[in-house]
Amino acid sequence: MRCGVQSCRAGLAALAIAVSAGVAAADPVKVGLVATLSGPSAVLGQHMRDGFLLAVKEMGGTLGGQPAEVVVVDDELKPDVAVQKVKGLIERDKVDFVAGVVFSNVMGAVVKPVTGAETFLISGNAGPSTIAGAGCSPFFFSASYQNDQNHEVLGQYAQAKGYKKVVLMAPNYQAGKDALAGFKRYYKGEVADEIYTQLGQLDFSAELAKVAAAKPDAFFTFMPGGMGVNLVKQYRQAGLAETVPFLSAFTVDETTLPATGEAALGFYSGAAWAPDLDVPANKAFVAAFEKEYGYIPALYAAQGYDAAKLIASAVKATGGKLTDKDAVRAALKKADFASVRGNFKFNTNQFPIQDFYLVKVGKRPDGKVETMIAEKVFAEDGDAYADKCPMK
Amino acid sequence: MSTTLVLVQVLNGLQLGILLFLVAAGLTLVFGVMDVINLAHGVQYMLGAYLMVTASAVTGSFWLGLPLALAAALVLGLVLEWLVIRPLYGRDHLEQVLATFGVILFVNEGVKLVWGAGPRAIPMPEALSGSIRLMDGLNYPVYRLALVAAGLAVAGLLYVLVTRTRAGMLVRAGASNAPMVSALGVDIGALFAKVFAFGAMLAAFAGAMAGPILSVEPGMGDGLLILAFVVIVIGGIGSIRGAFVAALLVGLIDTLGRSFLTDLLKLVLSASAATQAGPALASMTVYLLMAGILIFRPRGLFPAPA
């Protein structure tokens, strides 16, 4: 069959309408799930999507007792593409919730179109400071964290540990600068060097030589995705792992550990969750996830799972009457679900108040490598921007 | 800033340059000989790494995996030439760019289907997994030295191949006047196919060798492709010798810029301004170098004879 892009799309749209019309009789809950599913960072979106869909599957294809229809879209890590697709979700698919979004720049672009249309946006990962602070919205809920918090965990840990001198390193873009600022909010010792690298840099040998020359007590970095894999391997190969503790955020987790393997053993990260977190809901989640997908979930998967459970709790509490926005919002705000993170409630800015941990890469009895809880660093921690949010 | 640190950084720069040369050599060969702009060269580098992931896992050995991966890359290169490149000979460069860009999108998604979206790793060969202590607190992996040696070996091999063999003579002749070579009874189509597949194999070799120190992931060749183009433009399109010199130059300038520019700027600017400007400037040095060289040598350092 040959067809142009436009006519093909029309055909697919007609098919989608036909399918949804068949289910519409039961008045389904429609959720648009936005995730980065192509490009080098696709693995993050894959974790989040799988976590979300696992929750829906476990609830028998429903959300809060109503049949669920999840429309998964790929934002391609391009803000303009994301806006276009989100508008399609709202105007064409008429979704009740938009969930997901891995990256903050994508979130920055879609938050206005979604909340402006009075549709609830449940973040499965991104938590930029703008939305946590003055730009907060009654239609925005975060099922994840505020971006700075994970970095603050390491800053607090380095301070408590009494490290006198550290070297910091991050890619030269906004999130990288925010990361180092978050670390320094709690760390008060000497920063011997702040190294900014190119985004997407492959080889860190020049930077690692500088780290070795500075002889710090610890090294903190934010190096997401493949950059982190390269850095971890090269850090180990340079022999620095034995002498300078490796503190990081969003650098060693279950999305990168399959590639770094044992090179990352003993490396630290900060997170609100780890696969071995001792909460009954989490034990069940991790076991079910590994059985379903055959890989260990990362925090993105846990957050996607919680986002689905959060939506389900609100649908249940309102009896499926999703047109009453105030009632839905009040129900969401209660966070009446068993989070895989244990402690979980919403702050005034509708970001979570939760515990944060230092996690350390370790080996499980079956030989696989994962992050493991080392110690609790912050208990019931709200973010630094909630005060700036006018909502009460 | 000690002398040792400077020497270590020079070594790092050379090593990055060698890696760039491995990627750029095939690119300049294809461009110079066939007059085809092959944007897909970066994904051929990536494919080499992914093939090596599988080959080393299946055989359980780096050394057995490497020839297997290279052979597979050679075959894939021939297939790509037959499918996509062959209809584009003599066509506009823009059409070649469009078609090979399409190949990038296709292959990047393709590897995700086959190998998954997450980063993968190639285990380092046991014999080369040691390291040498270069300075206090810093080890230099023996594997990186092996990478430098492999790059130099490839450079030597290419030199002999291009200047001393019959195949090399045909390649050089094809580069300067393809219709004439064809008129003399040489099957130029077959020659082009071989050159293209060889270029693909060189890229795959770079990918397979880089695998143990870099992460193997979709899109890993895209950034490197841009640097490889910078290298062949600086070196003079079609010149292996130019690519070699330019790759080392780019590797050194990039590494030294990243290492010392911020510290140098701190001598003239305030610390915070230097921290702002240093990394930005460091990421530009390579392109400034290219612009500077093109002003004085518009056809690169070693232009191919017209």
- Torsion angles phi and psi, residue B54, rounded to 5: -70, -45
Q: Is the pLDDT of residue A392 over 80?
A: no
Q: Give one word for A200, left, alpha or beta, with left for phi > 0 and alpha for psi -120 to 50.
A: left
- Distance, CA of A385 to CA of B77 (rounded, Å): 54
Q: Is the pLDDT of residue A10 over 60?
A: no
pLDDT one-digit tens code per residue, A33-67: 999 998 778 899 999 999 999 999 999 999 999 99
Is B138's CB within 8 Å of A208's CB? Answer: yes
Letter for the amino acid at B282? A
State the Cα torsion B125-B128-B133-B135 to the nearest 10°. Answer: -80
Q: Is the pLDDT of residue A152 over 60?
A: yes
The answer to whether the CB of A247 falls within 8 A of the CB of A154 is yes
- Distance, CA of B14 to CA of B19 (rounded, Å): 9
- Distance, CA of A144 to CA of A239 (rounded, Å): 35
* Dihedral over Cα of B111, B115, B117, B118: its sign: negative
pLDDT for the residue numbered A137: 95
- Distance, CA of B166 to CA of B148 (rounded, Å): 28
A296 contacts in chain B (CB < 8 Å): none
Is A259's CB within 8 Å of B139's CB? Answer: no
Q: Which residue would you say has higher pLDDT here, A260 or A95?
A: A95
Candidates A48, A49, A203: best to mutate against B (most CBs of B within 10 A) is A203
A interface with B, Cβ–Cβ below 8 Å: 37-40, 42-43, 46, 172, 194, 196-198, 200, 202-203, 205-210, 212-213, 215, 225-226, 229-230, 233-234, 237-240, 243-244, 255-256, 258-261
Calculate mean pLDDT across residues A163-177. Answer: 92
- DSSP code of B120? B
A78 contacts in chain B (CB < 8 Å): none
Q: What is the CATH number of domain A148-271+357-381?
A: 3.40.50.2300
Minimum Cα–Cα distance from A258: chain B residue:
B120
- Distance, CA of A143 to CA of A127 (rounded, Å): 9
Is B283's CB within 8 Å of A43's CB? Answer: no
β-pairing verdict for A140-142 and A120-123: parallel
Please enumerate in sequence order all residues whose Cβ is within 8 A of that of A63, keeping only pairs 6 or more positions apart, or say none: A29, A31, A56, A308, A311, A312, A315
Q: Could you state, in order of their start, the residue ranges of all structural domains in chain A? A: 5-145+278-346, 148-271+357-381
Domains A5-145+278-346 and A148-271+357-381 share a fold: yes
Closest-CA distance, B112 to chain A, in angstroms, reads 9
CB interface of B with A, residues 93-152, below 8 Å: 108-109, 112, 116-121, 131, 133, 135-141, 143-144
CB interface of B with A, residues 7-36, below 8 Å: 8-9, 12-13, 15-16, 19
Is B138's CB within 8 Å of A239's CB? Answer: yes
State the first-to-last Cα distance of chain B, in angstroms, to the nearest integer. Answer: 46
pLDDT for the residue numbered B119: 83
Nearest beta carbon to residue B215 from set A172, A208, A229: A229
Which residues face B120 on adjacent strands? B216
Tokens at residue B261, please? Answer: 């520019």
Q: Could you state, in order of their start, the residue ranges of all structural domains in chain B? A: 3-296
Please enumerate in sequence order all residues whose Cβ is within 8 A of that of B40, keeping only pairs 6 or more positions apart, or say none: B80, B84, B100, B103, B104, B107
**CATH 3.40.50.2300 applies to domain A5-145+278-346:** yes
Q: Is the pLDDT of residue A265 over 50?
A: yes
Q: Is the pLDDT of residue A378 over 50?
A: yes
Question: What is the number of other CB atoms lying within 10 angstroms of the CB of residue A364?
Answer: 12
Is A259's CB within 8 Å of B215's CB? Answer: yes
- Torsion angles phi and psi, residue A354, rounded to 5: -150, 175
pLDDT for the residue numbered A9: 44
Is A240's CB within 8 Å of B19's CB? Answer: no
pLDDT one-digit tens code per residue, A69-89: 999 999 988 999 999 999 999
A3-7, A179-183, A282-286, B40-44: range with lowest mean pLDDT = A3-7
The answer to whether the CB of B44 falls within 8 A of the CB of B204 is yes
- DSSP code of B81? I
Question: What is the number of other CB atoms lying within 10 angstroms of the CB of residue B152?
Answer: 14
The pLDDT mean for chain A works out to 90
pLDDT for the residue numbered B1: 54
The answer to whether the CB of A266 falls within 8 A of the CB of A360 is yes
* Burial of B239: CB neighbours in 10 Å, binned 0-12, 13-18, 19+: buried
Minimum Cα–Cα distance from A170: chain B residue:
B279
Q: Which residue would you say has higher pLDDT here, B187 or A271?
A: A271
- Distance, CA of A193 to CA of A195 (rounded, Å): 6
pLDDT band at A24 (very low <50, low <70, confident <90, very high): very low
Each residue's pLDDT, cut to its tens digit, for chain B (306 residues) gives: 578 888 889 999 999 999 999 999 989 888 887 888 899 999 999 999 999 999 999 999 999 999 999 999 999 999 999 999 988 887 888 999 999 999 999 999 899 889 988 888 888 888 888 888 877 778 888 998 999 999 999 999 998 988 899 888 888 887 778 788 888 888 888 888 999 999 999 999 999 999 888 888 888 888 889 999 999 999 988 888 899 999 999 999 999 998 888 888 888 888 888 888 888 888 899 999 999 999 999 989 988 665
- Distance, CA of A241 to CA of A232 (rounded, Å): 9
pLDDT for the residue numbered A4: 42
- Distance, CA of B141 to CA of B132 (rounded, Å): 6
